[in-house]
Amino acid sequence: MTIYNEEWVRAEEAKRAYMDANSLYKSEDEHSSCGVGLVVAISGKPSRQVVENGINALKAIWHRGAVDADGKTGDGAGIHVQIPVRFFYDQV
């Protein structure tokens, strides 16, 4: 798990400054809204580990992980998974 301390902040600021100067990232485009995480298996094979990694990614941004600012209500954040068509054939 990432530890967000002063050392992490310094490293993150240095990384962003490098990206700002050398990549498509531009600091003026940075703002404080959440984005989208993507977890995939590049092999294309279904894997429980991919789902578990997606859940862990969602937990890492707990303020988006179905807990609103009041700490009591949710905002509907979650994960999408592919359900094989064969599953529906077996069930219908």
Domain ranges of the chain: 1-31, 33-92
* pLDDT: which is higher, 68 or 5: 5
Predicted pLDDT at 3? 79
Q: Which residues are catalytic?
A: 34
pLDDT of 64 above 70: no
Whole-angstrom CA distances from 40 to 36, 50, 62, 67, 83 are: 13, 6, 20, 24, 15
pTM, rounded to two decimals: 0.46
| 89/72 Cα distance (integer angstroms) | 39
Confidence of residue 33 (pLDDT cuts 50, 70, 90): low
Task: Express each pLDDT in 83-92 by its tens digit.
Answer: 888 888 877 7
